[in-house]
Structure 1
């Protein structure tokens, strides 16, 4: 049984995969460089999501303007956990949220067709003070998932959800230190 709030992600012993959607003008230079480079903004919060299906819902399978290139962003587990250790829930005291380096919110997980499920996925906002660390130290690999996303979306639209499901990235529970998990409302 899935917990009400649980981080589910593609991860290994060293890294975790997060997902982001960008315009081609941002994605193409980043993919060519193998890291985030301008015009990626180092001056505003960037939101990262370990739930592939949630990002597909948010970007309408890469069809929303400015969100047509879907990237898998592999970062170190050390960086992920450091970010979460600094995080504040967006539902906390407004002054605490305003001063936080990292924001966390919980949004309903989604089915392949975008329907809300009865458990939540984490969305993590990396603030301006930490964005260079994220981009230059935590990120280990960028992968363009756009062709795979289009293939999955076509299968879903064609009523072949079982085939689409087999193409989804693997996501399983991600263990966090107990104190961080409690603070973020996980469990």
Structure 2
């Protein structure tokens, strides 16, 4: 089996869009899925974190059982917006070798509309894997653009989360795996400023 890059974006994507996951309380999640856009109650002045990994989202929201995260959404967004956010993002923590010093990293963090964390990817039992998954935090202009310009569709995938969880709990990992979104390595420009790896935008798909 080919080794996975330590830090790369893996996502369900098409030629024009990429799917990310979020989980909300039903008062926000259900109207968002019904109308295909986030409701007024969704605050555009707060940082929002999007996750291309379905299983990392399941780890974060407990398969849609944690309080305030009962509605799991698959948000299909424009690749152009996602790429812009990554290009303008800063790591959420200081990394020696990537930043000149902590002061320069803090200045970059303050002016960046997006920030990136690399967290251990998860398997079907939500155990950590030896490579990392991206979380992308959006604030300011990026959060507003995500909600109002980049979003193509919003689906409620809570039933899928519960179905996969039930199969995992029953020990049928093969059946559970067949239901997972097809997440492939996402072609990107250089992620070096974020400590990432992955194919370039010119890689044939």
Work out whether the TM-score is over 0.5. Answer: yes
- 1:165-184 equivalences under 5 Å are 165-178=177-190, 181-184=191-194
Report the alpha carbon displacement of residue 184 of structure 1 after superposing the two structures with TM.
1.6
Question: What is aligned with 2:8?
Answer: 6
Q: Which runs of 4+ in 1 moved over 3 A?
A: none
The count of residues paired between Structure 1 and Structure 2 equals: 185
Of the three residues 125, 147, 150, the one matched with 2:137 is: 125
Alignment of 1:53 onto 2:55: yes
Distance 2:65 2:29 in 1: 15
Distance 2:53 2:141 in 1: 24
Paired residues of 2:30 and 2:156 also in contact (CA < 8 A): no
Q: Match of 1:135?
A: 147
SS in 1 for 2:12: strand
Query: Any unmatched runs of 5+ in structure 1?
Result: none
TM-score norm. by structure 1 comes to 0.96
Alignment match of 2:17 (pick from 3, 8, 15): 15
Match of 2:119, SS state, is strand
Q: Distance in 1 between matches of 2:17 and 2:180?
A: 18
The CA RMSD over aligned residues, in Å, is 1.0
Q: Give TM-score, length-normalised by structure 2.
A: 0.88
Q: What secondary structure is seen at the aligned counterpart in 1 of 2:120?
A: strand
The CA deviation at 1:147 is 0.6
Q: Is the CA contact 1:29–1:38 (under 8 Å) kept in the aligned structure 2?
A: no
